[in-house]
Structure 1
């Protein structure tokens, strides 16, 4: 036998419908969302403005460093960094691991190389393979002074021409 429930009003019908609609579904499912991450040390933006050496006459060069000119490696936008550790790579001068080879592709000068010196003063050469050079970073900027110049290893055997070298500087941040 079929038995019906008395409906007293339309309001009861609406209430019963709402109760049935809000009842949990028999096919409900749950999942756990896992989110992983890691906060890494900060970083800076390293720029190495070109150092343009002044032209020099071949007969004005003396043995050793010549026409040394100041330059700098600049760090900007530093966040979460207390120091940068530098390393240098490129092509060493032929027979002279202390200096950099003249790699000018068009009309290169022969018998001359490039000296790169650490700091605003002093005689410490920065050479291929140097690493562990620490630059303290305070705030959002830092700078590392250096100097570059022509280097004449011996008198004689010098021919005029272009001088150029490219040095890759890598900074690791702590």
Structure 2
């Protein structure tokens, strides 16, 4: 498993930005303007901030992640044409607005990252050593983004990692 990390991580090291994500993102819980800028969130329960590579992926209803089935989707049904259409539309918007191809590039490789994250969740145990290592990674991240230190999500993550690692007892 560890030998796979370098291959996945090295490709996304250049993307240091962070963004908002939502665990149940759908059109009923957000508001956008005519330029597709987020203007409001109706449901904040599942909202969090994360690095761009962790949040940019195809919408769940066309995600094609092994073992993930949405209601009404037949076993083995694929959405590769939908993926390409979405990616092409985002590329057109990036070009029209003279933006770097950050979103389209991350979206194009999102399936591979999502499968890797599922493998990690299934096979990586939550041991004290892993929790301490995760806390070190969080500390490194906060050195880059100190303004996020007091965000509720960061504080909750620290509480969970401290509790799991036995640190602070």
Do the structures match in fold with TM over 0.5?
Answer: no
Quick one: higher RCO (CA 8 Å, sep 6+), 1 or 2? 1
Larger Cα Rg: Structure 1 or Structure 2? 1
Q: Would you tell me which structure has more strand in proportion to its own residues?
A: 1
Q: Would you tell me which structure has more helix in proportion to its own residues?
A: 2
